[in-house]
Amino acid sequence: MLYVEIAIVVVLICVNGLLSMSELAIVSSRPARLKAMIDRGIHGAGRALELGSNPGKFLSSVQIGITLVGVLSGAFSGATLGERLAQFLASTGIRETVA
């Protein structure tokens, strides 16, 4: 069961990273370079150009997603892994009030 809990936390961290990368990619993209990519027929460049020219809805949705995933990962790891970590620290000699 421990491995499943760790896997869930790792997946949530990866989702958070994916959302952060997509936000940064849209904000830092250059329109001229995206237009050149469209001319070369690169898939997705047109959509990226659309999002970059009017990023309001996309960025607010990404921010909500990042916040939600952060809250979920904190709540889940605190409820499941936190107790196990406290037990481990207590078994190593650290006082229970500190662990």
Number of structural domains found in the chain:
1
Let me know if residue 9 belongs to a domain.
yes
Let me know if residue 8 belongs to a domain.
yes
Q: Cα separation of 4 and 84, whole Å?
A: 14
Average of pLDDT values for 65-79? Answer: 94
Q: How many CB atoms lie within 10 A of CB 62?
A: 20
The encoded tokens of residue 26 equal 């849209």
pLDDT in tens, 52-71: 888 889 999 999 999 999 99
Domain that holds residue 54: 2-91
Q: Cα separation of 96 and 36, whole Å?
A: 61
Let me know if residue 74 belongs to a domain.
yes
Highest mean pLDDT among 9-13, 84-88, 90-94: 9-13
